[in-house]
Every structure is written in C-alpha cells, then in structure tokens.
Structure 1
Amino acid sequence: MNETPTSAELRNSLVDEMILNTVDLTPAVERALRTVSREAYLPGIDLQDAYVDKAVTIKENPNGPLALSCASVPSVVAMMLVQLDVQPGDNILEVGAGTGYNAALLAELTGALGRVTSIDIDSDVAVHARTMLNRSGYERVQVIERDGLVGAPENAPYDRMLAAVGLWDMPTAWWEQLRDGGRLVLPLRWRGQTRSVALTRRGNSLVSDDMALCGFVPIIGQDGERTVALNADDTIRVHYDEDQTVDVDALSASLRDTQGIEALSEQRIGGEESFDGVWLRATADDDRVCRLEATPAALDQELILRPAIPGRSPLLVDGGSLAYLIVRREGAHPERPFRLGAAAYGPRAVDLAQDLIAHIEAWGNARTSVPRLTITPAKTDEPTAGHVISKPESRLTLTY
C-alpha cells in the first residue's frame, strides 16, 4: 500500500531533482530549501503540487495577461539565492514579497543575527506574506507595504538586495540603499529578454559576474517597453524599448506584400539544447534587437514563417525590414539535428538575415560565454568601454 509522501519527503525530493538537473546549489542554499516548507505559503494548494518545479499564481491581474503576484519557480528561486551569496548576519532587502516563501529562505540564510526586509506595493500580497511568515515562525522578517521602486531607506544600508519582480530600469533610489561592496540580484529586461543578473557595487558602478535567463512579473511603475501589432488581427507583435524606432506601417506592408526568405547558419543544436544566448549576444553590439511574438492563430493561418519560439524570438528591425531567429531540422545529425537560421521580410531582407546569422555564428563560437554588464546612474560622467544602452535612470554597458 503506497503511503502519501510527507512534506519533508517532497521537499527533499524537489531539491534532489534540482541537483540532478544541474542546478548548482551551495550548501547554505540547499539547507534552506530543505528546511522551509513551501506549502505553508500556498494555503489551499495540494501538498504535492507545492513541490512541482512550477510557478503558482497567488493574485491574478484583471487588467492584463500577467499575474500581479506569484510564487516563483523553485529552481529559479534557488538559482537567484545562489547568485545573491547571502552571508550570516547580512542585512537584506527583498523587493516583491510574493507569498513570503522567499523571505523565509532569506531569513534562514542570514540567520538570527541578520535582518530581512520585504516590501510589496500590493496590500493584499503584503498581508498574505506577513500572515504566512508569522504562522511559520519568521516574525523577525519585516514586511512593508511600499512601492518597490522607492525601496526601504529606513533599514539601509543593505549588504544584499534581491528583486523578485522584473525590472526594466535600475531605480535611482536603490543606489544609496546598497552599501559599497554589497550585492544586488535582479531580473533585468533589455531588448525584449530578461536575465537574472548578479551585480556587486563598486563605487558608482554595479558590475555583473553572473547572469541567467528568467522571467518575472514586471514591477509596477516602469513602462519603458512598447508593443505594436503588425497585422489587423493583432496576432503578430513586436515588443521594443522606448529608445528604439519601429516603423509599424512599413513593417506591416513588408509582411503583407513581400515573400519571406530563409537562410541557415552553420550552427547546429540538439533537441534540448538552449540557444537563448544568441539573443544575449546580439544585444551586446546591435541596437536593432527586439522581440517577435507570433500567436498560434498567426501560425495556423501561415501569416509568417515559423519563428524559433513563436511567443518570444529575437528580432532585428531596420526600417521596413525584419529578420528573426528560426530553427529548422536538417540532415542526419543524431546529436544535433537542428540548424539555427534567420527568416526575413522587406527590402533589406537578405542583408538583415545575414546580420542575424553573424550574431548566431558569434554565439556558436563561444556558446557558454556571457557578457559583463556594468550599470551606472544615467547622469554619471564616468566613461565605460562597451556597448551602451541608455535608460531614463541608468546606463547599461555590455562587454564580451
């Protein structure tokens, strides 16, 4: 007779699964994950569902497709905690309280001599987190209903800051709240993709030493990304940053009136092999990079050649021309049966396709390489070497 697994058994099984799937846990993070009960922060959810490596929505958004708040994917939580490198006794600020689970993990990591402040703009979310933390014995965590962009200066300076919401820009208010030498981990979005970036403050610069692909509910109050439809049915969309120029009419005409072309690179991948690094590589020297979204309806009607990932594929836009990433099965290569390439439309389709292929080849020559990201305040006069992306409150500089 099969017995129902206990919370501890499920918790340990999930951590074992992370390790098996090459999530590189530190001993401290592993211990915290095996200690804190995730189901305690998700009342009403089935016990076994609490230990599936998936996000759980805790508050829907009546005004959009993305949730207002959710419990993040456990393996992503673990990855970001490893990036944060919490030390015993640290003073920590968490932006985005969520369920309270992450704050409990932070409390375990920093210990009884440390301090954790968790803030959230949504009163319901803040109350939920406070209630669950109290029930679980983490009364020492301070939960504040507060706009995350403001931070919590009353408890600063912080040794560690963690954003559990997606950021499009580095808030000016955060600079003085992180001590020099302190560490910040945030899901940062630029050119349509989001990376969890681990940075250390060095004077007036934040310098990265790690980044990983992720996706998070965006913080309320930042709206630097734009979305436009390229057809009347709104089934093909371009997402771009406010500093970029997108000629919607010209692009729409090219999709409607010109024949798409395909060109393949020399880079092959296996069925489970990630190729998101192509996107990251392209952003390091090309300001034409955006995101293409093609809905299932667009694909069913064959309005567009199939993108690599229909919902989110890197895209180059230049006037009335566009080129985006594709994946095509080609040849008898059992280990890497797919080739990466470009589909393109418009008067400069051939040239733009080759530009995208150049990014693919650059990625293929160093597939695990990631750029160094340096963030400085927007008004800084300090020179930086590399490709610069300017935002209202900060300046991003990428170098390989």
Structure 2
Amino acid sequence: MSQTPTADELRNGLVDEILSRRSLPAEVERVMRRVPRDAFLPGLELEKAYTDQAVTIKENPDGPLALSCASVPSIVAMMLAQLDAQPGDNVLEVGAGTGYNAALLAELVGAGRVTTVDIDSDVALHARTTLNTAGYSRVKVIERDGLLSAWENAPYDRIIATVGVWDIPVTWWNQLADGGRLVLPLRWRGQTRSVALTRRGNSLVSDGVELCGFVPIIGQSGERTEPLNTDSTIRVHYDEDQDVDVDALTDTLADASLHEVLSDCRVGGEEPFDGVWLRATASDDRVCRLEVTPEALEKGLVRRPAIPVRSPALVEGDSLAYMTVHREGADLERPFQLGAAGYGTNGKALAHDLIAHIEAWSADRAAVPRLTVTPTADAAGGLSGHMIGKPESRLTLTY
C-alpha cells in the first residue's frame, strides 16, 4: 500500500522538477524548499499546491482572466533568480497575491525589509492572513494601487512586480535606488517578458529577458483588443501607438487571398520559437498578436496559426500575416518548419517580411536583445536601437 506523500516530500519533489529544467541560485533553491506553498493556499488539495501550475484565488466577473492568482512556481523561482535579492535588502513587491512570494522574499533578505502592495482588498487581506499564519508577520502588506508604489519604505534596493506591466510608472523610478534592480513582466507588442533591469542613473538596463505570462495590472490601458470577424472568434491585440486600422482588417481573413510561404527554419518538438516574436519587435512596429479561438479553428475560418491563442503577426492597412508551423520532410530531430500565412492586399509581402524575421532569429537562436528603458520625460539622446514609446517610459531594443 503506497504511503501518501507529506508536504515536505511534495515540496522537494516540485523543486527537483524545476531544477531538472533550469538551474537556480543556491539561495533561491533553499527558500523554495523551505517556504510551504500550501500554507498560502488554504483549502486546496496538498498535491495541487505542489504542481507547477498557477492557482486562481479570485475570479474576475468582468473578463476571462483572473483578478489574482498564485503564480506558476517555476516562474516564481525564475523571477527570484532574476531579482537577486540579498540579505539586508529593502524590497517592494507589486501584487501581493497569496503572500507566498513575499514570504520567499522575506527568507531571502533576512533582516531586510519586504513590503507588498495590492489594489484589491480581498487579496490584500488574504496575503496578510496567510503571512501571519505562516510566521511572516514582519512583511508589510498595504492595500493600494500598485502603480503608486509604497513611498513609506522607499528607496528600494529591489522592486518586483507579479502582475503584467505595460508601462513603467514614474513612481517606481522615483523609489528605486540607483544600482537597484527591477524585475517585472513587461508587455509590448502583444507579448509578455520577465525583464531584469538594473538602474544606472536615468536608465534601466536589462541583463535578462524570459518569456512569461501574468494577469495585467489594473490601471494601465495602453493595450487594445479588437475582433476581426463578426463572431469575435478571431482577435488582434496591439498597442496604442501602433497604426492598426481594425475596420480595414474586418473580414480580411475570410477572403480568398491567402498566400503561404515556408522558411528554411526547422524546430524540434520541444524547441521554443517564441524568440521570433521578440526578435521582430526589435525592428518592426507592425508586430501584433493574433488570437484564434477553438471555435474559429473548428470552422476552418483560417489556416492554423503556430500557437492559436498567441501567434505573432504583422499588420499593415487591410493586410496581415501570421506565423504557422508545418510538419514537413523526414528530419526526425527537427520535424517542424516555420512559415507564414498572409491575407489581404499586401498579405504576400507581409508573409515574406515575417519569414525574414523568422530567419533572422534562426541565424542566432540564443541571442537576447538588450533592453534599455528611459523616462519619456527625459530628452532622447545617444541610444542606438529600435525605440518603442509609451506615456511614462521609452523602450529601446538592441541586438
């Protein structure tokens, strides 16, 4: 008769699983093995508390995305590694969630200070309650709009956001010490990347960019989502600074102008190719995200995108092209070939432009851009690379 595993065994098993896929700093591994995630998810089955999955703690009555959730543990560990919090640090967390991440931070900084803020009163109360119960009463929990930060305990050596951020608010700049680190799920051109940034005067400079997904922070409205058909089963996601004419695009995917082209790029079954998206945003302001629902796929409304819910696309006027994946040839190591499907008047040219992005990525698949962020209020000066402007910050990407 098999014995039911204990919380300690399950927790260590989860950490071992994470370590089988990525390396972690010794201190991050230590705190992941020490802090009981189940204590921050009361009522959840023990086994579910130690699976590498997100857990919703508050549903959103107005939309499909949860208002708050416990993040995927492997993403938590990855972001803590990026943050590099040290003993004695003063840390701000934006997005209290369950309180689990704040407890991990408290273990990392030791005698330092951890402040966590959340705009939702229920979430803040949950975090306060679980932190107290688990023995982390020294963590300061504040119910507040995270975009305002927490001036009471500033300046901070480290700031970490556990919600998707579209623009970096000036308040965070003002409260991050020079030389301090900011880690956040930054959103641009329809994608979200966990970016690790170090403040150097009036610049934030990246040394790490990782794919992730997070619930968007409340209060930022620079992203747009519009349907491309009457059933709203095909949608385009784009930023407010992009020239996207949704009226011109309506029903473009339903016309007979499909143009398909394959690249010379092949990938393995477990090989990620999200770097195509990242590479394209470093030179092309037409990059958006295409979302195709299962209903649209079942009806055969479009040729299947590479990843139906989030495929990179190029949009221009009444035309668009998106990435596709085809199983072609007898290459067992890399059986899949990346391609593009173009629709509309200029769909053929857009498809070939997307192929150029795919092949640029394929030439150096491990390359990661340097992201430099400066306040929009500062005069631009001397930065080379592709700039994306937002109300409070300016992103410059360079390969």
TM-score normalised by the shorter chain: which range applies?
over 0.9
Question: 1:146, 1:397 → 2: CA distance?
Answer: 30
Q: Is the 8 A contact 2:255 2:343 kept in 1?
A: no
1:89 to 2:88 alignment: yes
Offset at residue 249 of structure 1 (A): 2.6
Q: C-alpha distance in 2, partners of 1:307/1:397? A: 29
The total of aligned residue pairs comes to 398
Tell me which amino acid in the other structure corresponds to 2:146: G
Could you tell me the percent identity over the aligned residues? 71
Paired AA for residue 16 in structure 1: D
What pairs with 1:266-305 in structure 2 (closer than 5 Å)? 266-305=264-303
Deviations 1:77-134 (A, max 9, x none): 00000000011000000000000000000000000x2000000000110010000000
- Deviation of 1:254 (Å): 2.7
1:16-165 equivalences in 2 (<5 Å): 16-21=16-21, 23-111=22-110, 113-165=111-163
Q: CA deviation at 1:256?
A: 2.5
Report if aligned partners of 2:162, 2:184 keep a CA contact under 8 Å in 1: yes
Which residues of structure 2 form unaligned runs of 5+? none
Cα deviations across residues 337-390 of structure 1 (Å, max 9, x unaligned)?
000010000111221111000000000011011100011101111411110000
Equivalent pair of 2:254/2:302 in contact (CA under 8 Å): no
Q: Please give the TM-score of this superposition, normalised by the length of structure 2.
A: 0.99
**Match of 1:201?**
199
Give the residue type in structure 2 aligned to 1:204: N
- Residue 352 of structure 2 corresponds to 354
Alignment correspondent of 2:10: 10
Find the aligned partners of 2:375 and 2:149 in 1 and give their Cα distance: 16
Distance 1:258 1:201 in 2: 51
Instruction: Name 1:371's counterpart in structure 2.
Output: 369
Tell whether the 8 Å contact from 1:24 to 1:79 is kept in structure 2 after alignment. no
Residue 316, structure 1, aligned to residue 314, structure 2? yes
Distance 2:297 2:121 in 1: 41
Amino acid of the structure 2 residue aligned with 1:68: L
* SS across alignment from 2:396: strand
Deviation by residue 1:153-208 (Cα, 9 ceiling, x = unmatched): 11000000000000000011111100000000000000000000000000000000
1:259 Cα deviation after fit: 2.6
> Per-residue CA shift, 1:182-238, capped at 9, x if unaligned?
000000000000000000000000000001000001110001001111111111110
Q: For structure 1, which runs of at least 5 residues remain unmatched after alignment? A: none
Aligned AA (2:223): E
1:256 alignment counterpart:
254
**Structure 2 letter corresponding to 1:6:** T
Query: Distance between the aligned counterparts of 2:392 and 2:156, measured in 1?
Result: 20
Indicate the SS of the match to 1:137.
coil
Task: Please give the alpha-carbon distance, in whole angstroms, between the structure 2 residues aligned to 1:380 and 1:337.
Answer: 48
Distance 1:263 1:334 in 2: 22
Aligned-residue RMSD, C-alpha: 0.7
Q: TM-score, normalised by structure 1?
A: 0.99
